[in-house]
Structure formats: C-alpha cells, structure tokens
C-alpha cells in the first residue's frame, strides 16, 4: 500500500468518478490539481491555504494565481504530501482535533519544529514526520 493511496479521497480528487491510482495522481499533480484540493486539505488540517503554498512563487505571481482554477505542480506536490500524512495522523490520534494539534505543535524529534512546517519543506520532511507517526503507532515515539 502506497502512502499516497488515500490522497485522492482526502483531496476530493476523482477521474471519471473514481479515485485515481498513485500514477494517475502524479499526472494530475503535473497537469494541475484543482484549487479545491488546496482548500480541502487546508480546512482538514486547520491551516490557511496561503500558508500551505507560501514561498512557492513570488508574491505578485502568487496574487495573480489566486484566481486560477488549478495549482502549479509545486503547489500540488505540497498538497499531496499533506494529504498523505493526514490519514495516518488521524488514525493514530483517533480525533481530528488531536491530529491537527500534533501537526501544529513543536516536536522534539524535529528539533522543536512543528510537523506541518517540516512537511511543507519537502519530501524529506514528509518522511521524517511519517517516521514519527509510525513510532507513535508502535508506542515508541517521544
């Protein structure tokens, strides 16, 4: 099972009424996920859409893009990373509020940074947070 199998459901993305495979999801990200995917994950994790995509492009370009219907490939990759972590955090914490709190509070294994901030930095960040979640799942994370 891929870490990205649940991403389409979290983002509300479908192809012909069905969830895309991870390979199809990669294509959708490259072509531009709908802006609704950003709004969905932002609402789910309790972050602002602007905070999720901040720093992905210069301010003026970002302001122009707000009205566009699709995300850039870089924005889509960030959105997908967050959507891949959410179901695991939700499963471990058993409650959306607790999962959101985990993502937004400093963690000692991340040198005092919030998991959400680390995930936003790139795939390595998603993997680090994923490792912490797996340790929590097995009762050994600090």
DSSP string, 67-110: TSSB--HHHHHHHHHHHHHHHHHHHHHSSHHHHHHHHHS-BGGG
**Band of pLDDT at residue 140, cut at 50, 70 and 90:** confident
The model's pLDDT over 41-88, given as tens digits with 9 standing for 90+, comes to 999 999 999 999 885 445 545 455 556 789 999 999 999 999 999 999
Tally Cβ neighbours within 10 Å of residue 91: 12
Q: Is the pLDDT of residue 119 over 80?
A: yes
| Domain locations along the chain | 7-137
Q: Write the burial class of residue 96 (CB in 10 Å: 0-12 exposed, 13-18 middle, 19+ buried).
A: middle
Place of tokens 């531009």: 32
Tell me the C-alpha distance between 33 and 45, whole Å.
Answer: 18
Measured over the CA atoms of residue 23, residue 29, residue 35 and residue 40, the dihedral's sign is positive
Phi, psi of 139 (to 5 degrees): 75, 25
- Proportion of the chain above pLDDT 90, given as a percent: 77
Residue 138: its pLDDT value, please? 87
> What does the pLDDT average to over 93-113?
95
> What does the pLDDT average to over 27-36?
95
Please tell me whether residue 15 adopts helix, strand or coil conformation.
strand
Residue 26: its pLDDT value, please? 94
> What does the pLDDT average to over 81-97?
94
């Amino acid at each position: 099972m891929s870490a990205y199998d649940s991403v389409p459901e979290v983002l509300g993305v479908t192809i012909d009424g069905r969830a895309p495979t991870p390979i199809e999801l990669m294509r959708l990200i490259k072509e531009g996920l709908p802006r609704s995917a950003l709004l969905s994950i932002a609402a789910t994790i309790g972050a602002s859409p602007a905070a999720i995509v901040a720093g992905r492009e210069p301010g003026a370009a970002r302001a122009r893009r707000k009205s566009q219907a699709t995300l850039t490939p870089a924005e889509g990759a960030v959105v997908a990373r967050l959507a891949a972590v959410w179901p695991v955090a939700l499963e471990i914490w058993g409650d959306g509020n607790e999962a959101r709190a985990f993502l937004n509070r400093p963690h000692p294994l991340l040198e005092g940074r919030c998991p959400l901030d680390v995930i936003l930095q790139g795939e390595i960040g998603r993997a680090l947070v994923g490792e912490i979640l797996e340790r929590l799942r097995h009762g050994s994370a600090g």
